[in-house]
Chain A
Amino acid sequence: AQTVTQSQPEMSVQEAETVTLSCTYDTSESDYYLFWYKQPPSRQMILVIRQEAYKQQNATENRFSVNFQKAAKSFSLKISDSQLGDAAMYFCAYSSSGGAGGTSYGKLTFGQGTILTVHP
């Protein structure tokens, strides 16, 4: 079974600065997906960024980027130019590829989450 570990229960950052959230995972599969989800106080789950394991290039979405180290099974999220609206719980998540109709894709294993506080 796959496991996802987020070793930072809480992190804080000053507005406009950069912060990195850590995530490690364990799997015996070679093809999979990794995600970062944001959960603000509204409790909605919002996809921040997605990485496909077969792609060596790190994913980037505006101020959000990842450092994907497949051999080390590490998947960190870097938030640049932090904004007050970035304050939330951040979950790292893993899913396998495949399954009927690719249904394994949505069967996510989440980490424990990291609460990010942004100070003005």
Chain B
Amino acid sequence: AAGVIQSPRHLIKEKRETATLKCYPIPRHDTVYWYQQGPGQDPQFLISFYEKMQSDKGSIPDRFSAQQFSDYHSELNMSSLELGDSALYFCASSQWGGDNSPLHFGNGTRLTVT
């Protein structure tokens, strides 16, 4: 079965650079969630989208922005990168009426800022 695809798997950037992380949800999933997991930390919710509209916002820095496109894939754009942005970034997807639909996580993108 198709899973949530995240690209790239690994990304190395320097301070003050920009990064774009991509997430391709499971087919027919219309809701996407982004999480950030710092080293030794639990995942923190960043932002979510439903039918291409932002549905909820968590602890996402103003330097970050995200959107969901017409094909339901999502991109997380990160600017003016800081050392503290080094983390594992997860994307997850679910289907509308998701109370009964499991949340599927991708394998994550590991971002290293040097």
Q: Which residues of A contact B (CB under 8 A)?
A: 33, 42-47, 50, 91, 97, 99-113
Q: Which residues of B contact A (CB under 8 A)?
A: 30-31, 33, 35, 42-45, 48, 50-51, 53, 55-56, 58, 88, 90, 92, 94, 96-99, 101-103, 105, 107-108, 110
Query: B56–A109 contact, CB under 8 A?
Result: no
Query: A106–B33 contact, CB under 8 A?
Result: yes
Q: Tell me which residues across on chain A come within 8 A of B92, comparing CB atoms.
A: 45, 106
Partner of B42, one of A46, A47, A100, A110: A110
Q: Tell me which residues across on chain B come within 8 A of A99, comparing CB atoms.
A: 55-56
Query: A105–B107 contact, CB under 8 A?
Result: no
Give the shortest distance, in Å, between A65 (CB) and chain B (any CB).
Answer: 18
Query: B99–A105 contact, CB under 8 A?
Result: yes
Query: A108–B43 contact, CB under 8 A?
Result: yes
Query: A104–B43 contact, CB under 8 A?
Result: no
